[in-house]
Amino acid sequence: MNWTDERVELLKKLWAEGLSASQIAAQLGGVSRNAVIGKVHRLKLSGRGRATAAPARQKKAASSGTGTAKPAARAASTPRHVTSSVGATALQVQFDAEPVARSYVRPEADNVVVPISRHLQLVELTERTCKWPNGDPLSEDFHFCGNDAGESGPYCRYHARLAFQPASERRRSR
DNA sequence: CCCTGATTCGC
DNA sequence: GCGAATCAGG
């Protein structure tokens, strides 16, 4: 993936709007959050909403000899078609109250970062599929996200973030 | 554990 | 220039 003009522009925009590097990476698609951060730095766009200060970096430790773990395979090139809504791509959801306290579903409450949904029906859910609901439960097109949720919760990482992160984000920007 | 951005450095 | 690995922190 190369940094085309449009992608850079979108990056700038999303960064300026306060999205996190990983969120931006997810929206751009095909890049890691590190790539986004690296690009941001190269563009000299650092320093936005405080997250972590910059005291002073140390240099990397040249790992030689004593094999202390091998990262080996890391990468996540998920071939996805991102809906490039160039123009009105803003909005992070904002919770004023409990994430799940609602007994009804907001029709258009998920425009955040989730790259793709698998539109699973209820019967197709397994223990490892994201159970984030989409749509009106009373409607026929009601479905679930269905992405791999791992074993650490009922949602995939994106929806888990939607549901649970806002609180900790709030705590961090204390 | 999850996450965040920052930095270094091999490519 | 790019981004993975790493670091430092919440």
Query: Strand C: which positions are within 7 A of a protein CB?
Result: 1-10
For nucleotide C9, give the residue with the nearest CA to its C1': A52
For nucleotide C6, give the residue with the nearest CA to its C1': A60
Cβ burial A115-153 (10 Å sphere, 16+ → b, else e): ebbeebeeeebeeebbbbebeeeeeeeebbbbbebeeee
Highest mean pLDDT among A33-37, A51-55, A151-155: A33-37
How confident is the model over A112-158, as pLDDT tens digits? 555 555 566 665 577 788 888 887 778 787 888 888 887 778 888 88
Distance (Å) from CA A46 to C1' B4?
13
Distance (Å) from CA A174 to C1' C7?
23
Q: Which residue has the higher pLDDT, A69 or A99?
A: A69
Distance (Å) from CA A14 to C1' B9?
27
Q: Which residue has the higher pLDDT, A126 or A33?
A: A33
pLDDT band at A65 (very low <50, low <70, confident <90, very high): very low
Query: Strand B: which positions are within 7 A of a protein CB?
Result: 1-10
Nucleotide nearest to A61 (CA to C1'): C6
Whether the per-residue pLDDT at A15 is higher than 80: the answer is yes
Whether the per-residue pLDDT at A108 is higher than 50: the answer is no
In angstroms, the CA A3 to CA A23 distance is 17
Mean model confidence pLDDT for chain A: 67
How much is the average pLDDT of A78-84? 44
CB A127, CB A112: distance < 8 Å: no
Whether the per-residue pLDDT at A34 is higher than 90: the answer is yes
Which pTM does this prediction carry? 0.62
Whether the per-residue pLDDT at A11 is higher than 90: the answer is yes
Radius of gyration of chain A (CA): 19
Q: For position A37, what pLDDT does the model report?
A: 95
Q: For position A137, what pLDDT does the model report?
A: 74
Distance (Å) from CA A34 to C1' C4?
8
Q: What is the 3-state secondary structure (H, E, C) of chain A?
A: CCCCHHHHHHHHHHHHCCCCHHHHHHHHCCCCHHHHHHHHHHCCCCCCCCCCCCCCCCCCCCCCCCCCCCCCCCCCCCCCCCCCCCCCCCCCCCCCCCCCCCCCCCCCCCCCCCCCCCCECHHHCCCCECCCEECCCCCCCCEECCCECCCCCCCCHHHHHHHHHHHHHHHHCC
Q: Dihedral sign, CA of A68, A69, A71, A72?
A: positive
Distance (Å) from CA A174 to C1' C2?
34
**Which of A4-8, A23-27, A58-62 has the least mean pLDDT?**
A58-62
Nucleotide nearest to A48 (CA to C1'): B5
